Homo-oligomer: A and B are copies of this chain.
Amino acid sequence: MRISELAALVGVSTRTVRHYHHLKLLPEPERLANGYREYRLRDAVALARVRRLAELGLSLDETRDALADDQGRELREVLLELDADLARQQEKIGVRRNRLAALLAETDLHPDSTVSPEMAAMLRDLPAGSSKSAEIDRELLALMDTVADPADRAEFIDLFRPLTEPEAVARGHALYARLDELADADPGDPRVTTLAVDLAAYLPDEMATAMVANLDSAPDHMCPPGADSVENTGGGQWLKTMYAEVSAAQIEVFRRVMIMLKERG
């Protein structure tokens, strides 16, 4: 048999056969005078052995070990481990398909695949308009949605639900407008204090307690090492990032709001 015949017999490509020779999975057969490889029945059997194990999902290295180990013993362990691995893969794929299904159901209504369906629903109900501050808030929410793990996410979304009530939305629009006005203002502007007071009153009590708790002990990936608290109010990376996005007066508003929430919480 020549190489293409062997390959066709077992159902692989000639490249695969040569690859297996290279990896020493398959012994090199005799060569004819012209350098062609000359295969015999035992080579076909050996190749078929390799394929069987490889098709079960063993890597070629594992396949070599399994065949070298003279059948038995360690092979069982490898196979059991492989089965466990396959089970994990199956489960992961299941999870992804579930998320896909949820996402597909949601994209019928609002085609934003970059946030979870729950967050997408909430973003529709929160105040938006043309406010720059609102836009930043929405970006932050979307970001937290993708970054937080699912358990935290549900809890986190519930925190904002009170703000989706119609009357809360109306108040929100007004507050965002007042925040926008401070874009070019001084941190000592008198409007800072009054807005902070109204904003703190606007936020629900649960957010106060949650915020105080979370800002001091957020998951590691939200507060990377080295990101220390800003202005003594806690919050690490999040506030540090916002610091670059908004004006000093607006930052001052947030700082005062945080302090008031801390006192309430």
Chain A interface (Cβ < 8 Å from any Cβ of B): 1, 4-5, 8-11, 40-42, 44-45, 48-49, 51-53, 55-57, 66-67, 71-72, 75-76, 79-80, 82-83, 86-87, 89-90, 93-94, 96-97, 99-101, 103-104, 107, 111-115, 136, 139-140, 142-143, 146-147, 220-222, 224-227, 237, 240-242, 244-245
Whether B147 lies near A40 (C-beta < 8 A) is no
| Copies held by the complex | 2
Shortest CB distance A261–B (Å): 22
A53 touches B113 (CB 8 A): yes
Q: Who on chain B is nearest to A111 by CB?
A: B72
Contact B86 A140 (CB under 8 A): no
Give chain A's interface secondary structure class: helix
A5 partner, pick from B101, B103, B224, beta carbons under 8 A: B224
Q: Report yes or no: A76 in contact with B56, Cβ–Cβ below 8 A.
A: no
B44 near A241 (CB under 8 angstroms)? yes
Neighbouring B residues of A53 by C-beta, 8 Å: 113-114
A49-B146, A224-B9 known; A83-B104 Cβ under 8 A? yes
Q: Which residues of B contact A241 (CB under 8 A)?
A: 1, 5, 9, 40-41, 44
Which residue of chain B has its CB nearest to the CB of A90?
B93
Q: Which of B5, B44, B107, B143 contacts A48 (CB 8 A)?
A: B143
A82 cross-chain contacts in B, Cβ below 8 A: 100
Please, how many angstroms separate the alpha-carbon atoms of A48 and B147 in the complex? 7
Return 8 A-B CB contacts under 8 Å, by A number: A9-B237, A48-B146, A48-B147, A53-B113, A56-B100, A79-B113, A83-B104, A93-B93
Q: How distant is A60 from chain B, measured CB to nearest CB, in Å?
A: 15
Residues of B within 8 A of A41 (CB): 136, 139-140, 143, 241-242, 244-245
**B111-A245 in contact (CB<8A):** no
Contact of A103 (CB < 8 Å), options: B79, B94, B220, B225? B79
Which residues of B are found within 8 Å of A72, using beta-carbon distances? 107, 111
